[in-house]
Amino acid sequence: MLNQLDAVSITQAIISSRTINHLSMVLQIDQRHQADQSAVQDFFGKSVMSLSKLFTIGAIALLACGSVHAQEYKAGGLQIEHPWARASAPQQSMGAGYMLIKNTGNADDRLLSISSNAANMTEVHQVTSENNMVKMGPVDSLPIPKGKTVQLAPNGYHVMFMNIKAPFKQGEKIPATLTFEKAGKVQIEFQVEPLTYQPGQAHGEPMHMNMDTMHHQHAK
């Protein structure tokens, strides 16, 4: 028979053994937890770095696109936005340019003329319909009323580059000078977009043209 002291000693030994085993298990779990935590931190750290790089690249790309497609020029109360032209088709001798002109000033203005070294003649033209035929011809001037936006767009008012000296190539910029009645001369550049480029819907509804019945009237 075990005396009371021996029983206490054995019980303490069992408890100590179990405690050591328990502590050992806890230590192993903690070590695994730390390893997993380190792996997770390492994974997310790399992911965060990758995302950071991705966002940086994306931001640079957006800025680059903005610099190309958000051309803007100001002269007095006039604001000229995104002048653009399509790339030339093979054997094409003419080109067309488009833009938005906003008059934020307190007085009406007028676009009197446009010139460019890219063509032998450059004029502002308008699409008109007469006797069931769609025609394009030059205008003497283009009114820019105060507080209004005038759109030069396909099927409406546009800049006509006639007898271009070289094909318009995508990515190039075509220099030109606009002359306004009050704002004076404004140097701009037309961004050459792809031949298939289609601008977003802007102010006003465009006219629909039948290219088979179109007649282009050149300035005399």
Flag whether 148 is in a domain: yes
Instruction: With a cut of 50, say whether residue 2 has pLDDT above it.
Output: no
Residues 56 and 9 in one domain: yes
pLDDT at 130 (0 to 100): 82
Q: Domain range spanning residue 117?
A: 72-197+209-216
Residues 31 and 113 in one domain: no
Residues 64 and 90 in one domain: no
Residues 76 and 4 in one domain: no
CA angle 76, 81, 85 (to 5 degrees): 130
pLDDT at 81 (0 to 100): 97
The residue among 30, 54, 70 that closes a domain is 70
Residues 94 and 158 in one domain: yes
Instruction: With a cut of 60, say whether residue 132 has pLDDT above it.
Output: yes
CA distance linking residue 193 with residue 79, whole number of Å: 21
Residues 122 and 191 in one domain: yes
| Each residue's pLDDT tens digit, 136-164 | 899 999 999 999 999 999 989 999 999 99
pLDDT at 21 (0 to 100): 52
Task: For residue 59, give Cα distances in angstroms to 65, 88, 141.
Answer: 10, 31, 41
Number of domains the chain contains: 2
Residues 52 and 151 in one domain: no
Of residues 178 and 202, which shows the higher confidence score? 178
The CATH number linked to 139 is 2.60.40.1890
| Residues in a beta bridge with 164 | 119
Residues 124 and 191 in one domain: yes
Locus of tokens 């001037």: 141
Percent with pLDDT over 90 in the chain: 52
Type of residue numbered 171: G
pLDDT at 129 (0 to 100): 82
CA distance linking residue 86 with residue 190, whole number of Å: 9
Instruction: With a cut of 90, say whether residue 28 has pLDDT above it.
Output: no
Average pLDDT over the chain reads 75
Is residue 169 within 8 A of residue 192, CB to CB? The reply is yes
pLDDT at 78 (0 to 100): 97
Reported as a pLDDT band with limits 50, 70 and 90, residue 198 is confident
CA distance linking residue 74 with residue 100, whole number of Å: 12
Residues 66 and 142 in one domain: no
Question: What's the whole-model pTM score?
Answer: 0.61
Flag whether 57 is in a domain: yes
**Per-residue DSSP letter, 53:** H
Residues 92 and 37 in one domain: no
